[in-house]
Chain A
């Protein structure tokens, strides 16, 4: 069973607040990812990391930022939350298994901005 954790699981916050979504994994994986998913829609990659001190923006433009100071920790920060940020945020990590990078997902954070 994968060991990847996200907190909080649910968050309701007002417009303009700064928030940080936490993601930690205990598997020692180098690659980590943040996805955004609206109900019934596809996962959109918003950030990823190759390893410590390495982060890249994903395919979907996002106003969030990430950091990777430690292998196990990949927090996502929104400096000023807006209602358009309301969504589910999924963190994942991966390792190379033979011919593939299999991704393990955390339980997600469901964010509502009022």
Chain B
């Protein structure tokens, strides 16, 4: 079967660092996406990992361990505008179908 788990909600302080974890069980794994979704808006692409290791892009970094079925999204120097849901999503072999987790709602407080 297919299963993606991530925490439902997290709260962090402006300027801090937060790590959002994601574990997955799926057949035919191709890669892992992270998307950001503000309330009432469409998801937007943040990152994609296909190989093990850390990918850094500005304030956001994403890590993947394929053997452990585990990924995390690291957000540094948090800003109020980072308050949003963060969706972990797995891309299947063949690539064009993506399975989404329920998302982690992040609240950034002053």
Interface residues, chain A, CB within 8 Å of chain B? 31, 35, 40-45, 48, 50, 59, 90, 94, 96, 99-108
Contacts and interface: CB of A to CB of B under 8 A. Distances in A.
Given A40-B105, A106-B42, A107-B41, A101 B91 contact: yes
A96 B95 contact: yes
B96 A105 contact: no
Nearest to B41: A107
Contacts of B99: 45, 59
A100 B89 CA distance: 12
Chain B interface mostly helix, strand, loop or mixed? strand
Interface residues of B, number: 24
Interface of B: 4, 8, 30-31, 33, 41-45, 48, 50, 87, 91, 95-103, 105
Given A43-B87, A96-B95, A99-B50, A105 B42 contact: yes
Contacts, number: 58
Q: Which of A40, A41, A90 has the most CB of B within 10 A?
A: A40
B96 A101 contact: yes
Contacts of A48: 96-97
Contacts of A90: 42-43
B43 A105 contact: yes
Given A43-B87, A96-B95, A102 B100 contact: no
Contact of A103 (B30, B45, B103): B45
Contacts of B100: 35, 42-44
